A and B are shown apart, each in its own frame.
Chain A
Amino acid sequence: KQEVTQIPAALSVPEGENLVLNCSFTDSAIYNLQWFRQDPGKGLTSLLLIQSSQREQTSGRLNASLDKSSGRSTLYIAASQPGDSATYLCAVRRGGFQKLVFGTGTRLLVSP
């Protein structure tokens, strides 16, 4: 059974810091991995999608990497801003259809 773990569960940093969020999964037979952002009481916003054949994806200040063999992905946020404060979720996709298995998220607080 695929399990997804995100560490740390919560992170507090001052504005301007570069930071890394971690996601690990137990079964390396995944098709892709997706990072999401969730603001309090809101739905999920897709940030980055990494296919299993890719090593990384970039969007603005965000960079996500994938190491399938070790079962790890990282989300790098450069020059963090207070507006980055949210919960970040990773999800892996495997199986005969597009089922996403989610981690429990990292709650990020960026202080001005």
Chain B
Amino acid sequence: DGGITQSPKYLFRKEGQNVTLSCEQNLNHDAMYWYRQDPGQGLRLIYYSQIVNDFQKGDIAEGYSVSREKKESFPLTVTSAQKNPTAFYLCASSIDLARSTEAFFGQGTRLTVV
């Protein structure tokens, strides 16, 4: 089954902790993305990567970090510098960054600060 797998589904973080959200895809896509979703707001882009070992900041990158060591994997770390991390996080991928291609999404990780 081809697709995007995000884990865990639910994650709880204490104040001051860093946590890492996993995103794996077996679609052989070059481009991967992380979005954040908050109630009443549209999805907002955190980071994106068009190829292994390359990634770029999106609109709300502060307090987040990513890596892209493998084509299949694009983990997101929510650092203690992120002031309001409670949100629903969605990972996506597409064949490449070309304008015409379709984006596919994972099932999301809900992060809660306790």
B48 touches A101 (CB 8 A): no
Which B positions have Cβ atoms within 8 angstroms of A?
4, 6, 31, 40-45, 48, 50, 56, 58, 90, 92, 94, 96-108, 110
Determine the chain A residues whose CB is within 8 A of the CB of B108 once the complex forms: 41-43
Total number of residue pairs linking A and B with CB closer than 8 Å: 61
B102 touches A31 (CB 8 A): no
B6 touches A98 (CB 8 A): no
B45 touches A99 (CB 8 A): yes
Interface size range on A against B: 20 to 34
Closest to A101 in B: B42
| Smallest CB separation, A45 vs chain B (Å) | 8
Main secondary structure of the interface of A (DSSP, over half): strand
B106 touches A98 (CB 8 A): no
22 contacts between A and B (CB under 8 A): A32-B99, A32-B100, A41-B108, A43-B4, A44-B90, A44-B105, A46-B102, A49-B102, A51-B100, A89-B42, A93-B99, A97-B48, A98-B97, A98-B98, A98-B103, A99-B45, A100-B45, A102-B43, A102-B44, A103-B42, A104-B42, A105-B42
